Amino acid sequence: MVCGYNGFCSIQDVDRLYPPSCGGALEVIVSLVPIGEPRRKITVASLREKKLHHEPITCLTAYDYSSARLVDEAGIDIVLVGDSLAQTMLGYENTLSVTLDEMLHHTRAAHRGVTHALLVGDMPFGSYQSDPSDAVRNAARFVKEAGAEMVKVEGGEKRADLIRRIIDAEIPVAGHIGLTPQSVNVMGGYKVQGKDLSGVEQLMRDAVALDRAGVACIYLEGIPREVAAMITAEVKTPTIGIGAGPDCDGQVLVFHDLLNLTFGHPAKFVRRYADVGAAITGAVQAFRADVTARHYPSDEESYHLPRETRAALDTVLERKRAMRR
């Protein structure tokens, strides 16, 4: 029996499989039992359980109500309101320009669309680098004002003490090491990290420091597969990779990359599952053509006066025409 992703059959499913000639839905619904567990709310504890049981963790970015709801309803474990929205949603050159208020605005919108997934808010550049007390206050704003259940902070060893401060304030934290976009100017561009021995050793130290600090998960971005596998085996914390190979505990992609809603050349690790960009362009072009040719809207797509109102209006118009003669 084919049912919904939550493991339960709907009345519509039953009606399709058991038409009235076979008794119909109402006659068989009493004998139905769930074919699987109902979908559970994903929590920080859920991520640890998934690593323990070798269940891959799924994560996608989403930046507004519609995308977050679609991602959540598709069964994704984590919705990340990433600072990548600086480029995908706001058209900035990089992630350094997006403000805390902009991140909170988009996180609030995504929160309204999420029911089961774990919602993570990405702390933007400048919101945690200067003063630990400010960092804790800003992290609290993600939880209190925007509905985030976790915040993401870039950096390894050098952020460990700060991350402990945030966690001590009862706010779960996701770490992020490797290619950290907020450090693009220091790195000299978007370059794969950990390609030499010293780089590998630093990544291992970063991962262990975050693990000991108590982060809920660690995002590994732009590092060799072999290094990501070593980190994943070394730490108890779940790892989520993006451009880090298949051996992480989970994977994340940018929503717009997955659907080809971006305008540049994709990174090597991006797999495009649909060409939504082309579909949108085609739909908009078709709309423009229909309007230009006066094919839209049709009579069927228009509202009409009730017959009585139309008759009364015709009478009024006829009287006005008669007065002009």
Regarding the domain delimited by 44-278, which CATH topology (the fold level of the hierarchy) does it fall under? TIM Barrel (3.20.20)
pTM for the full predicted model: 0.86
Question: What is the distance between the alpha carbons of residues 232 and 218, in angstroms, rounded to a whole number?
Answer: 9
Domain range list for the chain:
1-38, 44-278, 282-324
pLDDT score recorded for residue 38: 84
Using one digit for the tens of pLDDT, what is the confidence trace for 18-59? 454 444 443 433 343 345 578 899 999 999 999 999 999 999
Using one digit for the tens of pLDDT, what is the confidence trace for 91-106? 999 999 999 999 999 9
DSSP state of 260: T
HSE (side-chain half, CA atoms, 13 Å) at 95: 22
For the residues 212-230, what does the mean pLDDT come to? 99
pLDDT score recorded for residue 36: 59
Tokens of 66: 């519609």
Question: What is the distance between the alpha carbons of residues 145 and 135, in angstroms, rounded to a whole number?
Answer: 15
Nearest to 121 by CA among 134, 140, 96: 140
Out of 221, 226, 300, 301, the active site residue is 221
- In terms of DSSP H, where are the helices of 189-275? 197-213, 225-234, 255-258
Q: Is 300 a catalytic residue?
A: no
For the residues 313-321, what does the mean pLDDT come to? 93
With residue 176 as reference, give the H or E element that holds it: strand 173-178
Q: Is the CB of residue 114 less than 8 Å from the CB of residue 69?
A: yes
Tokens of 202: 């630093």
